[in-house]
Copies of this chain bind each other. A is one copy, B any other.
Amino acid sequence: MSDALVLDAAAQDLLFREARTANTFTDEPVSDEQIQAIYDLVKFGPTAFNQQPLRIVLVRSAEARERLVGHMADGNKAKTATAPLVAVVAADHEFHEELPAQFPAFPQAKDLFFTERPVREASSSFNAALQVGYFVVGIRAAGLAAGPMTGFDAAGINKDFFPDGDHSVLAVINIGKPGEDAWYPRNPRLTFDEAVTTV
């Protein structure tokens, strides 16, 4: 534990050091109030031009859960079927429509930078992924475990859950209290010198 951090040690543990990706969950439900509290915290995380392209679909009905499970890779089906709550997180490629309201200091951004769809797709995919990072931290801030997954038929989920053609799924996240044998042994991490260089 380093003195170089201001964040208290309990918060460090809750968010990073002891937090783990859960593969099993208890039956305890995850409430709308919990998700709203998480959102109302992590919505402040920065994005380029305050574009906030992350969209979250909470899969609460049995019918929608069954459809989602059908798109998951075999190894992810059982946990997606049984987690207390499953969220589909996606990038909204039409985020620019919100820019004049969301970035009032520079309302021209919509027309100066984001008229072309490929530019919007690249920007929203990166910025929504940043927001997925904040969201995972937020789930942990609520004392819950996240189980983010990217093993699925993305085209199938996009067609089924985002028929407007303007969104791309980034991840499916199981959310709940960790259950029995919820995690595998902690994997290693790259050392500072492996991940960080100085020029």
User: Which of B5, B36, B44 is the one whose CB lies under 8 Å from A141?
Assistant: B5
Mask: chain A, 1-30; 1 = CB below 8 Å from B; 0 = not: 011111110111011110101000000000
Instruction: Enumerate chain B residues within 8 angstroms of A58, measured Cβ to Cβ.
Output: 196-199
CB nearest neighbor in B for A60: B198
A40 in the interface (beta carbon within 8 A): yes
Q: A39-B192, A57-B198, A197-B58 are in contact. Are A21 and B2 (CB under 8 A)?
A: no
CB A126 to nearest CB in B, in angstroms, measures 5
CB nearest neighbor in B for A43: B189
CB A43 to nearest CB in B, in angstroms, measures 4
CB nearest neighbor in B for A198: B58
A166 in the interface (beta carbon within 8 A): no
13 A-B residue pairs with CB within 8 Å: A2-B33, A5-B41, A12-B141, A17-B44, A21-B46, A39-B192, A45-B133, A46-B148, A55-B197, A60-B198, A102-B188, A129-B132, A130-B132
Residues of A within 8 A of B (CB): 2-8, 10-12, 14-17, 19, 21, 31-46, 48, 50, 52, 54-61, 64, 98, 101-105, 123, 125-126, 129-134, 136-137, 140-143, 146, 148, 150-151, 161, 170-171, 184-185, 187-190, 192, 194-199
